[in-house]
Structure 1
Amino acid sequence: MTKEELLNRLSDIEWDDFEAKEAKSELPKSVWETVSAFANTSGGWIVLGVKQNGKKFEVSGVDNAEKLEQDFLGTIRSQKFNVIVDVKSKLYHIDGRKVLAFHIASSPQKPIYFNNPQNTFIRFGSGDQRANNNEITAMFRNQAFGVKSDQTIPDTNIFMLNTDSLHSYRNYMKLLGDQPNLLSQDDAEFCEKLGISDSRGQINYGSLIMFGKYERVREYVPTFWMDLIEIPGNNISEAKVRYTYRIPEQDNLWEYYMVLIKRIRLIVDTPFKMNRDGFNVEDDSQFKVLREALVNMLMHFDPFSTIHSCIRIYTNRVEFFNAGSYPIPVEQLGKQLYSNPRNPIIAKFFRLVHLAETVGYGIDTMRNWKNLTGNEMTIASDISTSIVTFYLTNDREGVREGVREGVREGVREGVREGVREGVREGVREGVNSNMMKVLKFCREPKSRREILEHLGVIYHSKNFKIHINPLIEQGYLELTIPDVPNNRNQKLRLTDKGRQLIS
């Protein structure tokens, strides 16, 4: 900081990285609170020899600059703080008076406190605030980036994994990955090669969260839960209803991703391109940006926090809310090739099937939103949370209303064409709207899993009993392999009675 920059700052008291203290002949006791606060947030300057009068600063100077400097630096290097803080000092001469300035760097090892953890402070606006227990706990967890998710769980095995989730992921790898040597392996070999399990067959926390069975994930990570809410308004207060959609609970992170990405695909353009092999490829689309934001959220989310990660879709924006801060200050994101996800093993799983950028380029992809839409993308992060926001065009509500009116007109036309009689028949037979959705989906034979995914509910026996079994009992659906009900290739198809109902 030059002398001119210091003088400019003295004309404004609203700096969150600048703290002036009078300190005529000795260090003020509050200076250590500011050291802790700057080290725990984004760093800042402590300036000694400046007195505040109302909203103005006045240079008062210090009497013995050399002694104050040695006292300050000596205390920083003593046992007062739990970690040595990175500090640089500078002496200014202003109007014949001496002014001392110390730059406190943001510490990579947080929390920084003096004497005991209760003396942990954070910078809030232009003042220092004592960190609460949740914020201190969050800082300790942030120091364990990658440690917990990579940790092996004793006495576990791959039978705790959801086989359908694992096979779904393997199918993605077959289509999108570049590890052909893994495709011929059986599940046990595949898991060991990929780092899902170790040589003794034990799995780690990241793999359990990614592919585990519902009850097993909750047994070891009881706080695990993701959320997505669609809110019909620019904020909660103006919404006529609290939400129009909320994601059902899923077994694991991979199942959450599969449902979340389908909802995100509905709100932005998704251009279709085909490569020479006949596969769909994506260009630099809005969907690609939001997919990167989703995966970025999943790679950095804190499954052990009581604060749950959530996607909030408003009329004018999409917010990706996460527990935990970014590992580096927000202003440095995208300025260097830096990749340090909270869950590196989860990040690896997404990158192996090319669902995430590598080596820190994900932020650049997300910031491309401005070029694609003309709308802003913002990133905010504090000690315990972070939010990435993508602003949408203002006419989305008009588009929604047009869609709603089109649906209403289609329904009216359908009624005129005799759908009303079909609905009456369905009601008489006890068929609700979800069951009708199942029947229409089963024009071609479908597995139980495919049907429940189509409904947006988790693959669970209770959902089978609710949505599918009544249709079998009433004769609308039948098994493709009736003699072996539990056959792994079993599917469900429409009967003649079912075709008559949906026609």
Structure 2
Amino acid sequence: MIEIRTLDDIGILSETVDLECKLAAGKDGRGQLPVDFWPTYSAFANTHGGVILLGIKEKQRRFALHGISEPQRIITALFNHLNNPQKVSVNLLTEQDVKVIVIDNRNLIQVRVPPALRRQKPVFLRGNPLKGNTFRRLHDGDRPCSEETVKRMLAEQVEDARDSRILQGFGMDDIDPDSLFAYRQMLRTEKPGHIWLDEDDAGLLRLLKGWRRDRQTGEKGLTLAGLLMFGKWDAIQDGAPHYFVDYQERPEAKTELRWTDRLVPDGSWSGNLFDFYRRVYRKLIADLRVPFSLKDGQRQDDTPVHEAIREALVNTLVHADYSGRVSVLIVKRPDLFGFRNPGNMRIPAELAIQGGESDCRNRLIHQMFLMIGLGERAGSGVPKIYSGWKSGNWRPPALYEKDEPEQTLLELRMLDLFPREVLEMLRIKFGSAFDGLGDLERLILSSATIEGFVSHPRLLEMSTDHPHDVTMSLQRLVKKELLFSSGHGRGTVYHIQGLKAATPDEVFSDGTVLDSLKNSGQSSEGLIAEGLDMPIIHKLADIKPELVAELEGLAESARKSRRLSKNEMTQTVIELCHGRYLTLKVLGELLGRSEDYLRLKVLNPLVGKKLLRRAFPATPNDPRQAYTSVSQM
């Protein structure tokens, strides 16, 4: 939660919090609710919430207080519009979410927009969720949602369980009998004598809701849950085209994507979720470094750490959005375990960590795991992961989301909060400046070293300090140049010079990532690079023909005409770079212009106006530079 107390707090807002600042002065200077308030309201509501400050002006890329002479006039207009369904689809605000702050005898209005619940999304404008009326917050801009994104929100809204859908044309021939036999054996071990064990395969699948009949329509058949949990690979590909599961064992604590062991659906095994779980869990716990423990004189082979890993794996599989374009990815490294699933969380991360609330995306799959003693009951899974990891005296797990494309990530690092070797390295690097720091500032630098970068929300997970104190500590470290920041709003991260930030050499190393995407059969819209927040396209030949055609269509007028107006060129470039990074070479090829002309006459001015941003801000003139649009025009 943002806390504004002084003018200094306003001066640092642009780099530390998730917020939008608007002047809201009106034509007469007395204050008026700005028209562009509503796209921001929609965007915050459809992502992670945020704060809108009215009465703030931007001067020389810094925020400054302007003030509003009649704040109640704006607040009245705000609630009138909020309760008008032709203006906005839902009112998320209460009186407690809107307050007037007085600083230096001037009024500032703070509007806290909470994230909408799943059943309230999409939050849209003008009575229609489509036609550019639904927005999401990406980086520091309000982006209109694509029709596909809006439809996914609508599906999430009405479908409590995404995996209960009956699949037309699928039957028992699409079920892998060995998988179902192995499941039966685990059920027998977990629940000896259970009445379901007397059923044949079709009966057992029916009781597990892997096969069901809709009582209203009479429709019956294999459910998505049954196919994903027990299906054969060729059938799964037909029923869930975006489904892909991937396990990678990497030899070093580095971001480069080399592996010594990998498991993906390749035709040699079923490829279903149940078999993926069984194979991957054995790999994850092999040679697991956990403290030796005894109970009643017996060595404990199943420790709280084992339980945390088991729960993390099940959690990843039951919460994944298998209609999303990101694969399920499990990574094992000497220093960490990583879990990624497509789709954002259905409840805020902080509520999931506290426990007690749950909104599982694939409830039938979850119940199938519960029947054999795997996974936790609703609302207790994530706390079990956190408590299990705490038993190893390691850093708290890192649970976070990415919005483009939507995905949820969990990192379990086997490192202390203050490893001795990290403190020594920092002491050597910063000398006496490090010795003079407090515990919170040392925690910040230690975390930035271990995790590559650190953010305000991540620090709140690791410390008991007040959010305002965390903010001020980050700013002091930046001012002393012990820490450097990049990004804006919720996307702001902090790193130590020389220890983080994506470089062209890291991204364009050897094509390993792109090759792996091609070989795995995933749709590749570009190179997914560590350190970059979106795919990067550096060769048109490396992406799908459909995407090439789309990009060429957007650039057609520029390519055919040498007399394109400045506004038309700006619009074309921003549309091309929306949702991805395009290199200078690719842009030159698409637009039919020289790279020097584009960089000097088009791209650099747009970066200066904050309409574009560079993938590698530290090396702006690198010939491998790439660009993405900050907002759509």
TM-score scaled by structure 1?
A: 0.69
Q: Is the 8 A contact 1:233 1:315 kept in 2?
A: yes
Distance 1:314 1:141, change over 3 A: farther
Quick check: 1:387 aligned with 2:403? no
**Shift, 1:381, TM fit:** 0.8
Q: Distance in 2 between matches of 1:275 and 1:18?
A: 51
Letter in 2 for 1:18: L
**Shift, 1:365, TM fit:** 1.7
Quick check: 1:306 aligned with 2:325? yes
Equivalence for 2:280: 260
Shifted more, 53-62 versus 341-350: the winner is: 53-62
Q: Distance in 2 between matches of 1:17 and 1:176?
A: 47
Equivalence for 2:123: 112
**Shift, 1:179, TM fit:** 7.0
Q: Is the 8 A contact 1:206 1:345 kept in 2?
A: yes
Counterpart pick for 1:244 among 260, 270, 289: 260
Q: Distance in 2 between matches of 1:42 and 1:357?
A: 26
User: For 1:275-286, what aligned pairs fall within 5 Å after superposition?
Assistant: 283-286=302-305
Q: Distance in 2 between matches of 1:275 and 1:182?
A: 34
Q: Distance in 1 between matches of 2:105 and 2:304?
A: 60
**Shift, 1:141, TM fit:** 5.1
Distance 1:248 1:100, change over 3 A: closer
Q: Distance in 1 between matches of 2:228 and 2:349?
A: 27
Letter in 2 for 1:17: D
Counterpart pick for 1:334 among 353, 360, 375: 353
Equivalence for 1:319: 338
User: For 1:84-483, what aligned pairs fall within 5 Å after superposition?
Assistant: 84-88=90-94, 89-108=98-117, 109-115=120-126, 116-117=129-130, 118-131=132-145, 136=150, 139-140=153-154, 142-143=156-157, 146-177=160-191, 180-198=194-212, 202-237=221-256, 242-249=258-265, 250-251=269-270, 252-269=272-289, 283-368=302-387, 369-383=389-403, 384-392=406-414
SS at match of 2:392: helix
Q: Distance in 2 between matches of 1:93 and 1:201?
A: 63
Letter in 1 for 2:207: K
> Which one has the largest radius of gyration?
1
Q: Is the 8 A contact 1:228 1:310 kept in 2?
A: yes
Distance 1:326 1:177, change over 3 A: farther
Q: Distance in 1 between matches of 2:200 and 2:300?
A: 29
Residue deviations 1:284-305, cap 9 Å, x none? 3322211111000000112222
Q: Distance in 2 between matches of 1:11 and 1:197?
A: 59
Distance 1:274 1:391, change over 3 A: closer
Q: Distance in 2 between matches of 1:291 and 1:84?
A: 39
SS at match of 2:339: strand
SS at match of 2:24: coil
Residue deviations 1:422-451, cap 9 Å, x none? xxxxxxxxxxxxxxxxxxxxxxxxxxxxxx
**Shift, 1:358, TM fit:** 1.0
Equivalence for 2:23: 22
SS at match of 1:356: coil
Q: Distance in 2 between matches of 1:337 and 1:3?
A: 28
Distance 1:38 1:49, change over 3 A: same
**Shift, 1:270, TM fit:** 7.6
**Shift, 1:45, TM fit:** 2.2
Q: Is the 8 A contact 1:19 1:46 kept in 2?
A: yes
Residue deviations 1:187-224, cap 9 Å, x none? 23322222222258622111111112232222211222
Gaps in structure 1 of 5+ consecutive residues:
396-503
Residue deviations 1:118-169, cap 9 Å, x none? 2433334555445566755654454355443111224544343222111111
Q: Is the 8 A contact 1:36 1:121 kept in 2?
A: yes
Q: Is the 8 A contact 1:122 1:131 kept in 2?
A: yes
Q: Is the 8 A contact 1:312 1:319 kept in 2?
A: yes
Distance 1:6 1:38, change over 3 A: farther
Distance 1:81 1:246, change over 3 A: farther
Equivalence for 2:437: none
SS at match of 2:366: helix
Letter in 1 for 2:261: Y
Q: Is the 8 A contact 2:237 2:243 kept in 1?
A: yes
Q: Is the 8 A contact 1:311 1:318 kept in 2?
A: yes
TM-score scaled by structure 2?
A: 0.56
Q: Is the 8 A contact 1:16 1:123 kept in 2?
A: no
Q: Distance in 2 between matches of 1:270 and 1:201?
A: 47
Distance 1:81 1:309, change over 3 A: farther
Letter in 1 for 2:232: K
Q: Is the 8 A contact 2:351 2:357 kept in 1?
A: no
Distance 1:351 1:306, change over 3 A: same
Q: Is the 8 A contact 1:22 1:48 kept in 2?
A: yes
**Shift, 1:55, TM fit:** 5.7
Q: Is the 8 A contact 1:38 1:106 kept in 2?
A: yes
**Shift, 1:264, TM fit:** 0.9
Equivalence for 1:438: none
Distance 1:270 1:102, change over 3 A: closer
Letter in 2 for 1:221: A
Q: Distance in 1 between matches of 2:294 and 2:16?
A: 52
Aligned length: 390
Letter in 2 for 1:243: W
Distance 1:188 1:135, change over 3 A: closer
Letter in 1 for 2:21: A
Q: Is the 8 A contact 1:299 1:343 kept in 2?
A: yes
Distance 1:3 1:193, change over 3 A: closer
Shifted more, 6-15 versus 365-374: the winner is: 6-15
Shifted more, 61-70 versus 220-229: the winner is: 61-70
Q: Distance in 2 between matches of 1:216 and 1:268?
A: 35
Quick check: 1:12 aligned with 2:18? no
Q: Distance in 1 between matches of 2:293 and 2:106?
A: 69
Q: Is the 8 A contact 1:76 1:85 kept in 2?
A: yes
SS at match of 1:143: helix
Q: Distance in 2 between matches of 1:388 and 1:100?
A: 36
Supply the RMSD in Å over aligned alpha carbons.
3.3
SS at match of 1:98: strand
Distance 1:55 1:110, change over 3 A: same
Distance 1:373 1:336, change over 3 A: closer
Q: Is the 8 A contact 1:269 1:287 kept in 2?
A: no
Q: Distance in 2 between matches of 1:210 and 1:361?
A: 22
Letter in 2 for 1:34: T
